[in-house]
Amino acid sequence: MNTCTLRNHGLTYIVVLIFCQLFDYATSNTLSFINLAHPMVIGQIIHFEDIISVLTYIALAACLLIYLFGQQPAVYRSIIVTAALTTFGLIMNIAGLLLSLVTRQVNPPFLLIDAAIVYASTVLLFAVWYWILDYASQEARCSGKDVPPVLVFPQNATKITGYERWKPGFIDYLFLSFHTSSTVGPTDTLVLSKPAKITMICQVTISLIVLIVLAARAIGILR
């Protein structure tokens, strides 16, 4: 068996998802819909937010247990489920940011901090998604199989001495995610598959929303 599949891996991405959930908890009060919604739907909103939060915590606990006692395919699937739930929480925070543009009930300085936290959470979460999308092709390449790549890093695109069996790690996906958010597009990594392109479009859209909120609130504070 190839050394790259001898043991479970993915703990780094589980820890990243834990940080994303902590970021979501940090912004839950400021970006809550409770003060922005009609009284008739406040109960439904609270119920939905609680369900998503509880399910995410359960999924994170399951990820850790499966990592310790399960097999790699189960670890991979559990991370996908957890990332999907975390993405729902991120979308709710983004909706809260958008609603904050039309209300004065939120303290602008605190909202700026929350927007920065959402931005950081976006970078971390999409680093996990890029790993998820690229996982199968990297594992196939590691075992010598010829499959269409999802992401092509410079080390894979050309033969560089010392990188013959190079495989991307968390920092490589984080680098891709960070530059996608900060430069609104990919840098040195080729995005080939349609799912990866759609994921990148979603990340750029979220990053633009956060930057617009930051700029709007900064102008409001200056005035």
Q: Which of 36-50, 115-129, 199-213 has the lowest mean pLDDT?
A: 36-50
Q: Does the pLDDT value for residue 22 go beyond 50? A: yes
pLDDT, position 45? 63
* 183-210: pLDDT as tens digits: 866 678 888 899 999 999 999 999 888 8
pLDDT, position 102? 66
Tokens, residue 130 = 């890029």
Torsional sign, CA 98, 94, 153, 155: positive
Spatial CB neighbours of 62, under 8 Å, sequence gap ≥ 6: 78, 82
Answer yes or no: are the C-beta atoms of 9 and 135 closer than 8 Å: no
CA 190/CA 197 separation, integer angstroms: 10
Answer yes or no: are the C-beta atoms of 60 and 14 closer than 8 Å: yes
Domain spans, the chain: 3-222
Query: In angstroms, how far apart are the furthest CA atoms of the chain?
Result: 64
159 vs 108 pLDDT, higher one: 159
Burial 69-101 (b: 16+ CB within 10 A, else e): eeebebbbebbbebbebbbbbbebbbebbebbe
What share of the chain in percent tops pLDDT 70?
78
